[in-house]
Amino acid sequence: MNRRDTLLALIALGASPLAAEAQQTDKVWRIGYLSNASGQSGLTETFSAELGKLGYVEGRNMLIEYRWGMNEEERLAELAAELVQLKVDVIVTQAQQALLAAKQATSTIPIVIATAADPVGSGMVASLARPGGNITGMTFMSSELSGKRIQLLREIVPRATRVAVLVIKGGPAVPMFLAQMQGVAKQTGTALIVEHVNEVAALDSAFDSMRRQRTQVLIVQSNPFSTDNRKRIVELAAKQHLPTIFEVRAGVDAGALISYGPDLLAMYRRAAYYVDRIFKGTKPADLPVEQPTKFEMIVNLKTAKALGIKIPQSVLIRADEVIQ
């Protein structure tokens, strides 16, 4: 039966030939998602929901292949290779370690950064405006944020001069993160106490070290480890009556005093936009890497009360949300 006869037969059966042709040519897009975290969260749900708004329905014309490093960085290379073998159409990465593993696994499959601290400084892309290669997406880093976090803590605890910083041990974004912190600390006369951790067992000793060094406030770097273990971090900080600021709101939801940083949900919605552009034919090299444009401050008054801290009105009026 030739094409004309096929179309006539479809019309006779009451079917639309255009719909039939669309059905024959419809592609099921396969997305690889690579993260060192331990499982899905509100971020991945937001990403999937935003793709739905763009016309991609999981199980119909889209499949997402999730791969979780479970905070074991050495697994990421193997997981990235799995996604390449599956011939996914795009790989979406969360955090710098996942981005590095994906880049090492493929130079042809498009890679969209959902979050990464410093893709330029780490050599992942040539520049923000012209990334080149097969990588584009969102960077988590904004140079002004480190100073604003220290300023916030000094507003809330004016006498604080000894600030601990909890970072991921060996994390590729740590040097830049600490360089920004140290620059601001020097300007404000603040002593930084840096604690490197990459496993839960190390948290107790890190907080013991903070206590011995008379830490007054704590800043927690955002990474899959600190997000997965935010409740434990908050518990240990509470035992020392240590006001704690996270970069992202998940820490405040777990009981930290305050968070200030990029709106991660907005970044994941934007990552879905990048995927859509690539599916429609735009090359990653032609899509500039974007810095965050929307920031949010969340204050937990319940935690403030437990710590015996009165949050200044100047901070409360700037907060995007206050948890009572």
Residue ranges per structural domain of the chain: 3-140+265-286, 145-262+295-323
Q: Contact 177/221 with Cβ under 8 angstroms?
A: yes
What CATH architecture is 145-262+295-323? Answer: 3-Layer(aba) Sandwich (3.40)
Residue type, position 79, single letter: L
Distance CA 79, CA 277 (A): 25
> Which residues, in sequence order, are bridge partners of residue 93?
34, 113
DSSP 184: H
Predicted confidence at residue 143, as pLDDT, reads 58
- Token code pair at residue 245: 């600021």
The pLDDT tens digits of the residues spanning 262-314 come to 999 999 999 999 999 999 999 999 999 999 888 899 999 999 999 999 999 99
Distance CA 152, CA 184 (A): 12
Distance CA 299, CA 245 (A): 9
Distance CA 76, CA 180 (A): 28
- Token code pair at residue 154: 């000094």
Q: Contact 53/243 with Cβ under 8 angstroms?
A: no
Distance CA 31, CA 111 (A): 10
Identify the segments of the chain with pLDDT beneath 50: 1, 3-4, 6-25
Predicted confidence at residue 174, as pLDDT, reads 82
The pLDDT tens digits of the residues spanning 51-75 come to 999 999 999 999 999 999 998 888 9
Distance CA 284, CA 281 (A): 9
In Å, what is the CA distance from 219 to each residue of 57, 78, 159, 176, 279? Answer: 39, 32, 16, 15, 39
Distance CA 80, CA 269 (A): 23
Domains 3-140+265-286 and 145-262+295-323 share a fold: yes
Predicted confidence at residue 5, as pLDDT, reads 53
Torsion of Cα atoms, 114 then 118 then 121 then 125, to 10°: 10
Predicted confidence at residue 142, as pLDDT, reads 65
Predicted confidence at residue 280, as pLDDT, reads 97
- CATH number of the 3-140+265-286 domain: 3.40.50.2300
Distance CA 38, CA 40 (A): 7
Distance CA 26, CA 314 (A): 55
Predicted confidence at residue 18, as pLDDT, reads 40
Q: Give the pTM.
A: 0.82
| H or E element at residue 270 | helix 264-279
Total Cβ atoms within 10 A of residue 28: 11
Burial of 258 (0-12, 13-18, 19+ CB in 10 A): buried
